[in-house]
Amino acid sequence: MAAVGLLHLDPCHCSVASTSFSSKVHSENAKKLLGARRCAVTRLNSVFQDNKANGDFSSPSGGWQVRAVRSESLQSGTTPGVDDETEVLKRQQLFNKIAPMYDNLNDWLSLGQHRVWKRMAVSWSGAKGGDSVLDICCGSGDLSFLLAQRVGRAGKVIGLDFAKEQLSVAAERERKSPRTTAATIEWIQGDALSLPFDDSSFDAITMGYGLRNVANIPQALAEIYRVLKPGKAASILDFNRSPDLLTNQVQGFMLDNVVVPVATYFGAQEEYAYLKTSVARFPLGSEQEQLATDQGFTKARHYELAGGLMGVLVVTK
């Protein structure tokens, strides 16, 4: 079996998975838990202006936040016992580091198949000509570029990520490959758990390999729900934790014997070594559907791709 897609950490509020996961958390309960625990909100000292020429990026509010939440039953991301702020900033540094090699690693490790899965995810988002769309955890911009082609010059595309270097790579890719029929993309540095946008702002949303890495999955889904327009859809692509034992064994073997060795060759062993653990702690597709429903989505369907190694959660507000 080919080493299909077993590489995506994607730089969006990333951290290592916690020891447990609750598959049924209602919105109100999640809010209470979040309010009951200490939330340390850190605003970074550097506020980046929206200037692609010098690679600086900012949210419309003039900055971005890192929310620290210590809830072991809700977390997907932070290392137990490690300060959230420290862990998140560490992850940000790691994803900034891998930015220059990220696209090459994607192609090497998936044999190019990641492009097929991303096109499927964009298609399932329902984005169409003239739409205003958001790509959360955009990384180097693959899904953002596909969205820009889909919505056309009359549309609007925002690519959001917390790693400045990833955004720099994305902006440079856009500059070098002008698309005369595609929308211009606005690159914003921001937090997936505190999106800097008004309610009901977008006609479609995508998220590629980010949900598994956020510090709080219900909160991330709640933010997607908040900024999505009623009746519209979001498409969330990530690794799949299959209930099938054989699929999990194949996936684990590929991670241990293909992904990490290749990443090590590129000098990114530390950045990719935690993938197996993060996938093992990621919710099953059915659990993701339940979490989305708990946040208010009227429809939630998880689709397995690549023989169960990947998955796409499609949700409708």
Cβ pair 251, 3 in contact under 8 A: no
State whether residue 216 is helix, strand or coil: coil
User: Which residues make beta-bridge pairs with 160?
Assistant: 136, 188
Give the CA angle between residues 66, 72, 73 to the nearest 5°. 115
The two structure tokens encoding residue 72: 């072991």
Cβ pair 278, 16 in contact under 8 A: yes
Quick one: pLDDT at residue 1? Answer: 36
Quick one: pLDDT at residue 111? Answer: 66
Instruction: Classify residue 283 by its DSSP letter.
Output: P
Q: Which residue has the tokens 């209930």?
A: 243
Instruction: Indicate the burial class of 186 (C-beta count within 10 angstroms; 0-12, 13-18, 19 or more).
Output: middle
Quick one: pLDDT at residue 275? Answer: 79
Distance CA 20, CA 17 (A): 9
At residue 34, φ and ψ (nearest 5 deg) are: -65, -35
Tell me the Ramachandran region of residue 267: left when phi exceeds 0, alpha when psi lies from -120 to 50, beta otherwise: left
Instruction: Classify residue 297 by its DSSP letter.
Output: -
Cβ pair 68, 83 in contact under 8 A: yes
Distance CA 149, CA 53 (A): 22
State whether residue 202 is helix, strand or coil: strand
What's the fold here for domain 27-98+115-316?
Rossmann fold (3.40.50)
The two structure tokens encoding residue 288: 């993701």
At residue 275, φ and ψ (nearest 5 deg) are: -55, -45
Q: What is the pLDDT along the chain (317 residues), one digit of tens a residue?
A: 333 434 444 445 433 232 222 333 333 333 333 333 223 222 222 323 333 344 444 433 333 333 333 233 344 444 545 555 666 666 666 666 665 666 666 666 666 677 899 999 999 999 999 999 999 999 999 999 999 999 999 999 999 998 888 899 999 999 998 777 889 999 999 999 999 999 999 999 999 999 988 888 999 999 999 999 999 999 999 999 999 989 989 988 888 888 888 888 877 777 677 778 888 889 999 999 999 999 999 999 999 998 899 999 999 99
Nearest to 88 by CA among 106, 65, 105: 65
Q: Is the pTM of this model over 0.85?
A: no
Domain boundaries, the chain: 27-98+115-316
Instruction: Classify residue 306 by its DSSP letter.
Output: G
What is the chain's percent helix, strand, coil content, to nearest 5? 40, 20, 40
State whether residue 78 is helix, strand or coil: coil
Task: Count Cβ atoms below 10 Å from residue 63 Cβ, excluding itself.
Answer: 17
Tell me the Ramachandran region of residue 306: left when phi exceeds 0, alpha when psi lies from -120 to 50, beta otherwise: left
Instruction: Classify residue 118 by its DSSP letter.
Output: H
User: Which residues make beta-bridge pairs with 302?
Assistant: 313
Sign of dihedral through CA atoms 158, 164, 170, 172? positive
